[in-house]
Amino acid sequence: MTGGGPDRDTLRPAVRSAVTRLGAWVSGLRWADVPDEVRERVVTVLVDAVAVTTLGAREPAQRALVDAWDPPAGPAPLFGTGREVAVDAAAWLNATASVRLELDDGHRLAAGHPAAHGFPAVLALAARRGVPGEELCCALLAAYEVAARFGRATRLRPGTHPHGNWGIAGAAAGCARVLGLSAADTATAIDAGSGLPVAGPFAAALDGNPVRDHWMGAANQSGLAAARLAASGTGHPTGVAADSLGELLGSLDPAVLASGLGSGPDPASWEILGGYFKQHSSCSFTHAAVDAALDLREQAGDGCGGIEQVLVEVHSLGAALDRTSWPTPLAAMFSLPFTVATALRRGRMVPADVSAEALADPVTADLARRVTVRVAADLDARLPAERPARVTVTTTGGDRLVAERPNPVGDVAHHPFTPEDRVRVLGDLLTGSDLLADPGLLAGLRDRCAALPAAPDAGEALRSLGALAHPR
């Protein structure tokens, strides 16, 4: 049995059939047939991906990683560095940079990050192949749509982190499209990708272990490997996800994989329209609580000294984010006490707030020790449609201040960001970075991404984009 569902002999053919349909859809996708709203969203997600990757690339830990990797020169831009490196190195290193600061966009119902799973690999391979811009955009859309569907279809076992498992199928789909594979070979690539998952423990993120970022690098390289396997003509789809995702790592509902595939103007058929963007540099499970804390900050009065206790009530998905020590920036970004205390103390939660100096701040640490995290049954009952949080601040004067949010700001179901909103937020996030030495950087990124569909050679366009996205 598979997660209490059908046995594998029943599940495998259903998965294989769904993968076949996905392969046909990916290979037959045409940019001219994609609705305007979806096209605009692809560009916005790409702007976001390049911007947050560029930010992540400037982090000391990411710079050290690139130095240690010593990637060979090649055709693919390494965003934020001004370098061009080999395809596989760019796929891995851009992927780790994209998640380094927990700013990458995500999809609530997929419970993870479809774009980060596949965009780095697709961009790197497209830079090598020199495909037309429209083909690249189709590949990016395919990577997102397939990854999100595998994410929605998969229910990982408790304690499993979503980085590096269900999203590999999307990376494989996008890379297959860049390679121009047939419908049958694209299905083989998707199937192979679904058989290459990482079994990563969620505790690694809570511990602040940077291997968590590398699961995303592995996902992108695995997507490349799966597409190359299919291109070699030596593979065939077997429905392996029934065993990998549907047995070893959790349960899988094949009906979700290919039903209502994106076509025409119906927004419900396009997964990319259901994604969210971040404005806080932290795990998405902290965002609603951070938003609520920011609501209460002015009312709390005399800074942190005026706060006696803070109660953070959350859904069960966020219950483990209760640690009051943070040995690394990653651990801090996965700590509700740290993120809520930072919001109350600084009025924000941005990359600068996970610097070495910010992590060592004794005032933040003292306030974080006064933060209690508790699961609330009424909030838990609202999953998965909402990811709510309620914050109660008790002041030293005896006042009790309460704020609740149903979802983070930026979620498709709660104050979603327009493309203009996202550019504004990205500008705020870039503030204080050496990247703002060029005030036209963000506008340039946006304009070049918007022009990408019309580019005759996506490789040249991407290298131009990479040259822009680094400090002068």
pLDDT digits (tens, 9 = 90+) for 363-386: 999 999 999 999 999 999 999 999
Cβ contact 178:136 at 8 Å: yes
Q: How many domains does the chain have?
A: 2
In three-state secondary structure terms, 327 is coil
Residues 256 and 336 in one domain: no
Stretch among 89-98, 161-170, 212-221, 268-277 having the lowest mean pLDDT: 268-277
Residue 293 token pair: 């804390």
pLDDT digits (tens, 9 = 90+) for 233-251: 999 999 999 999 999 999 9
Q: pLDDT-based confidence at 337, cuts 50/70/90? A: very high
Looking up residue 292, the CATH number of its domain turns out to be: 3.30.1330.120
Cβ contact 85:72 at 8 Å: yes
Q: Alpha-carbon distance 93 to 390, whole Å? A: 37
Confirm whether 29 is domain-assigned: yes
pLDDT digits (tens, 9 = 90+) for 390-448: 999 999 889 999 999 999 999 988 999 988 888 888 888 876 565 544 557 788 889 99
Q: What residue numbers bound the domain in which 34 lies?
A: 8-260+269-276+430-468
Beta bridge partners of 250: 156
Residue 397 token pair: 């004067």
Looking up residue 26, the CATH number of its domain turns out to be: 1.10.4100.10
Confirm whether 410 is domain-assigned: no
pLDDT digits (tens, 9 = 90+) for 21-41: 999 999 999 999 999 999 999
Residues 93 and 158 in one domain: yes
Whole-number percent of the chain with pLDDT over 70:
95
